[in-house]
Chains A and B, each alone.
Chain A
Amino acid sequence: MKILVCISKSPDTTSKISFTDNSTKFDENGVQYIVNPYDEWYALVRALEIKEANGGNVTIISVGSAGDEAVIRKALAIGADDAVRIDADPTDAYYTAMQIAEYAKSNGFDLVLTGKETINYNGSQVGGMIAEALDQPFVSVASKLAVSGSTLTLEREINGGIEVVEVNTPAVVSCAKGMAEQRIPNMRGIMAARTKPLQVVAPIAVDQMTTYVNYTMPNAKSACKMIDPTNMDQLVELLHNEAKVI
C-alpha cells in the first residue's frame, strides 16, 4: 500500500502565543516548532504500522519553506521512507490542499492521511479539500483504521457517538486520538533520517481563498472569586443571580 502522510509544523503546545507587526503576524520569537501532534502521533504512526504489517511505502509531504526541513526530518526519524516538500508558504488551507492534491494526483497513492486538525489554525480543512480535489471518499476524525486488501474499515467520531464505516481505496482519512500511540524516534532513526530522500517540488499556481487579517487575544479574566468550600449554596446563588448561567 502506497501511503501519503500530510504533515504540518505547529508551535509546541506549551508555546506562549503572541503577535507582532500590529497584530498581523504570529510572533515566532522563541517558539519551538514541532510536527503537528495529530499528524505525527496518529496519521504517521498508523501509516508506519500498516506498512510494517502489509508492506508498502510511506511518503511524508509538507508545504513549507527550507526552514521547515528540520520538522520534516523529525518525522522521517520516526520512520517514513521518503519525504516531499512543496517549496511554498502554506498561506491558507485551500492553497496547501491544492498543492498536496496535485502531487498526490501525479504520483498515485492508495491512501492519504492527515491529522484531524492542526493545533495552530484548528481548521480541519486540508483533508476534506484534498479528497474533493482527488474525487475520493473522505473519512474524517477517524480513531481506528484497519486495512484488508483494498478495503479500509474505520471508526470515526460522529455527532454524539461513534460510527464504524468501510471504504475502498483510494481514499483520504483524517486521524484522531485512538488510532495509534506516539513513537519516540530512536538514535538509529534519527541517523537514518539525515540521508533519507527529501524531494523539493515547485508549487503550482493557486489562488489564496482566505486571509488572516489580524489577531486579537482574549480579554483577561477579572480576579477569581473564592467561595467557602462548606458553603455551596452561595456558589449556586452566585451562578444563578450574578453569572446567570443556571
Chain B
Amino acid sequence: MSVLVYINSKNGLHKSAFESVTYGKKLGDVTVITTGSLSADQLATLGNYGASKVLIDRSVEGDDDQQLTRVISSAADTCSANTIIFSHDMVAKAVAPRLSVRLKAGLISGAIGIPSSDGTVPVNVFSGKAFGHVKVNAARTIISLLPNSIQPEQFDGSCAVEDFNGNAGSAGVKVLSTKKPEGQIPLPEAELVVSAGRGLKGPENWGIVEDLAAALGAATACSRPVSDIGWRPHHEHVGQTGVAIRPNLYIAAGISGAIQHLAGVNGSKVIVVINTDPEAPFFKAADYGVIGDAFEVLPRLTEAVKKFRASSH
C-alpha cells in the first residue's frame, strides 16, 4: 500500500514528524511530502524512521491552507497514495479537512493508534472522556494523528529526496506577523507538563511552576479559571474547551480536577496531583498524589528533580 505522510518542516524536523512517518511505515510504503527550505541532507534523515522517499515543494514558504492542499493532493496522485497521514497540529486542522473534500477521502482526525484488525482507527471523542473506533467508507483515507500517541521507531533505512512541483497556486491568506514565545516547548507536543490552577492564588506566584518546568524540561499549562481571569495565556489552558494533551507526565498543582479539566488531560500516561484538599476529585484520576501546599511542595519537588538530574549525569 502506498502511504503519503505530510510533514511540516518549517521549524525543522520534530518528534511529531518521526511519529507520523513511523505510523505510515506500519501501514505501507511511505512517501513524505513537505514544503519549505529544509536541506536534502536533513530531510534524508526521515529514512531512519522508514520513509522511502521525500518530496519537497520549495515554491511554498508558508502554511497557506489552499496551497498546501493543492501540493499534498498532487503528491497523493503522483504516488497513488490511498492513505495520507498528518500530525494533528494547527496546520493539519486547516489542511486535512480541505484535502478530504478535494480527494473525496474519509478523514479520521485525532487518531490515537494504528488501525485494528477490523480496519477501525481509535480516536479521542467527548474531549478524551471516551474513544471512538472509526472506519472509512471511501477509497482514500486521511488520518490525523494526535502527538505523543505512538513512539517513533528507528530503522536502518535511507531515502531519496526529490524536488517536487505540486502546482501550489497562490495563497489566500496573507500573513502579516508572527509571534512565537522563544524557547518554550509547544504544549501539545510536550512529553512532560507542569500545570497549575487557582490554588496558586495569583499570576505573580507562577515562578515556582516555571522553576519546576525548567528543572524537568517541561511545558507549562493551566486550568480554565486561570486563563479566564488572565493569569496565564489562553494557549496554556488545558481541558474540554482548551487544548487536549497526552504527555507522559502531567503534574497538576492547585487544580481540583473538574470533569472538564480531566477531559483535556486523561490521555496522560502518568498524573501527579498536588492539592491541599484531600477530597479534591483530581486524586481519583491521579497515579501519585501529594496532599500539601503547592507553595511548599513545588519548590521541594524542584530541588528533588535538580538533585536527581545532577546525580544521573
Contacts and interface: CB of A to CB of B under 8 A. Distances in A.
Contact of A210 (B106, B127, B179, B273): B106
A125 B106 CA distance: 11
Interface string A121-160: 1111111110111001111110100000000010011111
A245 B300 contact: no
A19 B283 CA distance: 25
A233 interface: yes
Interface stretch (B27-35, B50-58, B197-205, B288-296): B288-296
A166 interface: yes
Nearest to A139: B173
A236 B301 contact: yes
B290 A177 contact: no
A139 to B, nearest CB: 6
Contacts of B248: 245
Contacts, number: 272
A124 B93 contact: yes
> Chain A contact residues: over half helix, strand or loop, or mixed?
mixed
Contacts of B96: 125, 128
A178 B230 CA distance: 11
Contacts of B308: 233, 236-237, 240, 246
Interface in B277-301: 283-293, 296-297, 300-301
B290 A226 contact: yes
A141 B105 contact: no
Interface stretch (B37-45, B77-85, B129-137, B157-165): B129-137
Contacts of B240: 13, 119
A166 B259 contact: no
B98 A119 contact: no
Contact of A224 (B120, B174, B287, B307): B287
Interface residues of A, number: 83
Interface string A206-246: 01111111111110011011111110110111111001011
B66 interface: yes
A121 B129 CA distance: 11
Which 10 A-B pairs have CB atoms at the shortest separation, nearest pair first?
A: A128-B97, A229-B292, A137-B172, A161-B180, A209-B106, A132-B98, A232-B304, A132-B101, A140-B94, A160-B186
Interface of B: 8, 11, 63, 65-66, 69, 89-91, 93-102, 104-110, 118, 120, 122, 124-138, 172-181, 184, 186, 191-192, 216, 227, 234-235, 237, 240-242, 244, 248-249, 259-260, 266, 269-270, 272-273, 283-293, 296-297, 300-301, 303-305, 307-308
